[in-house]
């Protein structure tokens, strides 16, 4: 993917099963191209990491899993709430509570955005550097345009463009 124009790749299962792959990718393409994906899901009320599209529980306490990931050369972390993904019920902010202290990698939070206010509730949190959504922008009629308007009205600095030209 990187050789064919992708700027970054998200590595989740392979970071657990073949951590050497992350090292190889970072060595060849630079660690800024490597994003560590962490899929989180509650098991008996406790957040746990999963791989293989959420079908495999990582057999480590979350703190130990995060410690292993911190040792890998990656530019960013992409955290997804499996419990909230696609629901439109809002981001799972409890995920931010389990992040390792002193994590210096930028964090992208995903899973749950269903309306623009969900972005507003997270963007001021210093533990989050970016948000990702597919549901809001792909399945909610004017989700992208409405979210941009709400963020601009709230004073966030975004590029301005004429959304009428997109129709």
Q: What is the DSSP letter of 137?
A: H
CA distances to 40, 74, 123, 137, 140 from 127, in Å = 17, 17, 9, 23, 27
Among 7, 39, 59, 85, the one annotated catalytic = 39
CA distance linking residue 110 with residue 19, whole number of Å: 23
Residues in the chain: 167
CA distance 70 to 144: 33
Q: Catalytic site residue 92?
A: no
The H or E element containing residue 117 is helix 116-123
Q: What angle do CA 87, 6, 10 make, to 5 degrees?
A: 45
Tokens of 10: 């998200």
Secondary element (H or E) of residue 107:
strand 107-110
Instruction: Provide the annotated active-site residues.
Output: 39
């Amino acid at each position: 993917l990187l050789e064919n124009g992708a700027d970054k790749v998200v590595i989740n299962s392979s970071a657990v099963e073949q951590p050497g792959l992350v090292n190889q990718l970072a060595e060849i393409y630079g660690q800024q191209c490597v994003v560590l994906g962490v899929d989180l899901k509650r098991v008996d009320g406790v957040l746990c990491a999963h791989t293989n599209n959420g079908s495999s529980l990582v057999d480590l306490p979350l703190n130990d899993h995060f410690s292993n990931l911190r040792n890998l050369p990656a530019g960013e972390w992409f955290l997804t709430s499996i419990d909230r993904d696609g629901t439109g019920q809002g981001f799972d902010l409890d995920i931010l509570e389990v992040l390792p202290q002193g994590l210096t990698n930028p964090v992208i939070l995903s899973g749950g955005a269903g309306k623009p206010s969900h972005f507003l509730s997270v963007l001021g949190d210093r533990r989050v550097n970016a948000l990702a959504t597919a549901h809001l922008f792909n399945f909610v009629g004017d989700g992208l345009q409405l979210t941009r308007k709400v963020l601009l009205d709230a004073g966030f600095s975004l590029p301005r463009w004429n959304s009428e030209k997109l129709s």
